[in-house]
Amino acid sequence: MLHRGRWGDSDAPSLPLSGGPTGTQGRLAGRLRRTGHAGRVHANSALTMQYDALVDEGTAALALAIGVRVRQERQSRGWTLDQLAEAAGVSRRMVVNVEQGAANPSVGTLLRISDALGVGLPALVERPEPKPVKVTRRGDGAVLWSSQSGGRGVLVAGTGPPDVVELWDWTLGPGDRHGSEAHTPGTRELVQVQQGTVTVEVAGQPVVLEAGDAVAFGGDVAHSYANPGAQPARFSLAVFEPGVGPGSRSEVTGV
């Protein structure tokens, strides 16, 4: 999974760090719906500009938070920028841009960096909390993938290393396909479709799932998720990756 670029960038455009109405954006949209003005958002240029500004603000805030965490983890290990870049298999310029919050990295790039640091992807996008119970409110998950047709991949919860568990809320727009290379050995995935039709292909074997259907498979082989229908499809994804951290990662093989 990590280091290999869990989701291939060939199936999607560059991955924005926020791709929809989350956090303050979602609360604004909710207020508009409750007051009956949602249908006038695009007609009212002032509201449209305000909404776009909030989206940009949310994207920038997440990018800065990721940058701060990456820099903290790197410095706590006494690593230089070059050392992290080499360990993650990315350019030094990319590491600099990520730490400054100026980059628009793909999920694969974030996975490479989190794996090199041995912390797991959730640790980069979640605020550190000393409490044993972490609550993610509706609309506050980290949007790490989006498509032009309305698709979104939202990391809503996760655990720390060494055995990392991630919970995702995925929406695929009509015709969307999201491919993934093989993850690290021992990775397992669970998918349950909430809405529409999703085709999950594992090692070349396609499985068509309707609402309510679920599938379990090893994530250490190439796989993909696709929406063959004309309506949006939504599914929950749980990923279990054992042994994340220094000394337990597999050799980098490239994306």
**pLDDT tens per residue across span 39-94:** 443 444 444 444 344 445 667 777 888 888 898 889 888 899 999 999 888 999 99
CA Rg, the chain, in Å?
18
pLDDT tens digit sequence for 162-188: 888 999 999 999 999 998 888 888 999
* Claim to verify: residue 82 and residue 28 sit in the same structural domain: yes
Amino acid sitting at position 106: S
> Which whole number is the average pLDDT over 5-18?
41
Average pLDDT of the chain to the nearest whole number? 76
Q: What band does 101 get if pLDDT is binned at 50, 70 and 90?
A: confident
Secondary structure E strands in the chain: 142-146, 152-158, 164-172, 177-180, 188-195, 198-202, 205-209, 214-218, 223-226, 233-241
Q: What band does 255 get if pLDDT is binned at 50, 70 and 90?
A: very low
Please say if the pLDDT value at position 240 is more than 90. Answer: yes
pLDDT tens digit sequence for 16-36: 444 433 443 343 344 334 444
Domain count, the chain: 2
Answer yes or no: is 131 within a domain: no
CA nearest to 141, candidates 124, 127, 154, 159: 154
Q: What band does 249 get if pLDDT is binned at 50, 70 and 90?
A: very low
Answer yes or no: is 225 within a domain: yes
Which range marks the domain in which residue 191 is found? 142-241
* Strand bridging mode 188-195 / 205-209: unpaired
- Of 96, 125, 154, which marks where a domain is finished? 125
* Claim to verify: residue 65 and residue 160 sit in the same structural domain: no
* Claim to verify: residue 150 and residue 234 sit in the same structural domain: yes
Higher pLDDT, 233 or 111: 233
Q: What band does 128 get if pLDDT is binned at 50, 70 and 90?
A: low
* Claim to verify: residue 78 and residue 156 sit in the same structural domain: no
* Claim to verify: residue 97 and residue 181 sit in the same structural domain: no
Distance CA 211, CA 109 (A): 32
Answer yes or no: is 227 within a domain: yes
pLDDT of residue 131: 65
